[in-house]
Amino acid sequence: MKISIGSDHRGFDLKNKIIKNFRNIKWFDFGTNSKERTDYPIYAKKVCKSILSQESEKGILICGSGIGMAITANRFSNIYAALCWNEEVVKVARQDDKANILVIPSDFLQDKEVYQMINVWLHTEFKGGHYQKRLEMIDK
C-alpha cells in the first residue's frame, strides 16, 4: 500500500513514529522535516495532490488540533479528509464517508491510540450504495 503523509511542526515527531511503526507501507513523506515552525497548508496540499495524481492511495495529515489540515484538504474535490480522535470515529469515517485522508490531532492523542486508529482506517472498507450517492453530491 502507498500512503502519503504530511505534518506541520506540531505533528513532526508523531509523523516519524508512524512511519517507523508501519514498515509494511510505502510512505511518501511530504514533510515537514523538522520541529521548526511552519504552515500546515503546504503539507496538506502536497498530500492531496499525491492522492489525486494516484501516486498514493490514501493520506495521513497531522497537526496539533487536526482542524487546519482537515479544512485545507477538504477544499479538493474527491478528497474526503476526516478528523478523527478514536477508533469508532475512524471506522465510520471509512465505512460511511470513504475517508481517504485520516487527519490526526497530535496534541490530543497518545501514540498507541494513533496506531490503533490507523489500523482500523487501513482495514475498514467503504460501504458504497447510498453513501456513494452522498459523495457524488459533494463533488458536483
Predicted confidence at residue 26, as pLDDT, reads 98
The structural domains of the chain, ordered by start, are 2-139 (3.40.1400.10)
Phi-psi region of 66 (alpha: psi -120 to 50; beta: other; left: phi over 0): left
Q: How many CB atoms lie within 10 A of CB 28?
A: 17
Q: What is the DSSP letter of 108?
A: G
Instruction: Find residue 29's DSSP bridge partners.
Output: 5
Per-residue pLDDT reduced to its tens digit, 44-103 = 999 999 999 999 999 999 999 999 999 999 999 999 999 999 999 999 999 999 999 999
Say which residue the cell 502536497 belongs to: 46
Predicted confidence at residue 140, as pLDDT, reads 81
Mean pLDDT for the chain overall = 97
Predicted confidence at residue 139, as pLDDT, reads 83
- In this model, does residue 105 exceed pLDDT 90? yes
Instruction: Find residue 105's DSSP bridge partners.
Output: 63
Cis peptide before 72 (omega within 30 of 0): no
Angle at 135 between CA 131 and CA 140, to 5 degrees: 145
Angle at 97 between CA 91 and CA 100, to 5 degrees: 80
Dist. CA 26–CA 29, nearest whole Å: 10
